Structure 1
Amino acid sequence: MIYGIGTDICDVRRIQASLTRHGERFPQKVLSDAEFATWQARSLRWPERGVRYLATRFSAKEAFSKAIGLGMSMPMTWRRCEIGNLPSGQPVILLHGALRDWFEARHLRAHITVTDETDYAASFCVVEVNR
């Protein structure tokens, strides 16, 4: 049974403007430690790719927060929600701390997809009750 659906589209130029304005403080606020390390590595090799990576993670976390119906209120926080990838490349949601506990107590399961193009990143999330 579907618990919730969320979608988000993010302007990559807006993410770039936040990076320019706030530097690494912005990705440190939005990304988990593992995501931050990936962002740094991608940004060093190809800065544009790093910005798009950050935009897809921002978008995916927004879509997930909408699908669970919390928005960005506790226990949902940017850093407690991590977007990882399976070996196949499929994106997955990894939850930490109180958010993981909240999610598991409701027997939920999440599916996420992310995409990006030059100026936009978009995500779609379906959360279902897993009983």
Structure 2
Amino acid sequence: MSTCNVESCVIQAPAARTWEALRRQDFAFWSLVKSVEFSTSPCEVGGIRTTVFADGTVQKHRLLALSETDRSLTYELIDSEPAAPSLSAQHTLQVFSVTADNSSFVQWSSDFSSDRSTEVVEDAKFKKIDALAELAKSLAKH
């Protein structure tokens, strides 16, 4: 059994611009991310992304799916130093167009393995909320 956590927000930027910021997978908008390196092209399914976080945590993620049509990407955690508090985690980001005002609806979901704790799910929730707010702020500047 796994646990799913979903957070979302409306961003006052066109869906195409919001998607472009997310599909790069560099998370440049997020203050918790110090640097990102790719083993291949960022959009190559199967490629590995190494993310160094501000607290020194280093994680490797594999891109499992990327759809330009659906404006979505899915990645999984494959390594973490220090070790992640959950055996496995799979994350999906998706951008929808809000046609009424040309804004974006962004949804970020995570599926955790059954060994996760409540604290892991809560931590993911608050990190997603903060990251989405920072994404919205970064897109509002342009």
Alignment TM-score, normalising by the size of structure 1? 0.38
**Higher fraction of helix:** 1
Q: Greater relative contact order: 1 or 2 (C-alpha under 8 angstroms, separation 6 or more)?
A: 1
Q: TM-score, normalised by structure 2?
A: 0.36
More strand by share: 2
